[in-house]
Amino acid sequence: MPEVPGQPKEPWSMTWIAVAIVVFIIGYTVITLQFRKPNPSYQPYHDLKSRGETHNLLTAGFRRIAVPAAQPAEPGAVGAHAEIQPRPGGLPATLKELLFDPPNLPAGYREVRAPATVAALMPCLIQFDCVQGDPHRQPGGAAVYVKDDTVLIVPEYDPLNGDLRTRRDPALVQLTLPAGTLAPGNYDVTLIGAEASAAWTLQVH
């Protein structure tokens, strides 16, 4: 039967509308799960704080390098050991003023193994056995701050999940500074602890 001009069209059946909605929801869910980025969502406050801290460090002449931690470490990996000297603990005032949040530092160090010399195009391995005051934290890497001939290594300890506790047995933690991090020259290196730090001289050639 031909359509009469001006005659209202018959509305869609509610069944088809419901089917269309269900198909849309399923399709949207599949596409979202398939292509969703694994990275955490954008956090404006955290990102702005991180940018502000980076700006402060660069303005003061510091470079910051994030270094992962490996545990346990092979004791023989570090050669030509440097002479390790004790130093007072705590962040130097010049660095403390630039950081927005205080890092979770170990109390001190039972043993530190570091090279006295290293080639500029080779990675620099540093190993330590720390005294950790909080048993609910474990090594999560370190932030290395470089300014002129000064290198400050700030280990960071991440919280363990739930009620887990870190083991008390001595175990070497290894940090690896990537090749090319330090230009040729002599550096005063300090591994910072909350109560006691360790220092040595490093020659990069």
Given its phi and psi angles, is residue 138 left (phi above 0), alpha (psi -120 to 50 degrees) or beta?
A: beta
- Asked whether the beta carbons of 107 and 90 are under 8 A apart, the reply is no
pLDDT one-digit tens code per residue, 136-174: 666 678 899 999 999 999 988 766 655 544 554 456 788
pLDDT one-digit tens code per residue, 105-136: 888 888 898 999 999 999 989 988 877 655 66
Please give the single-letter amino acid code of residue 170: P
Which pLDDT band, with edges at 50, 70 and 90, does 47 fall under? low
pLDDT one-digit tens code per residue, 86-95: 999 999 888 8
Gap between the Cα atoms of 24 and 62, Å rounded: 52
Cβ neighbours of 203 (radius 10 Å): 14
Q: Where are the domains of the chain?
A: 61-204
Count Cβ neighbours within 10 Å for each residue of 62-95 and write b for 16 or more, e otherwise: bebeebebbeebeeeebeeebebeebebebeeeb
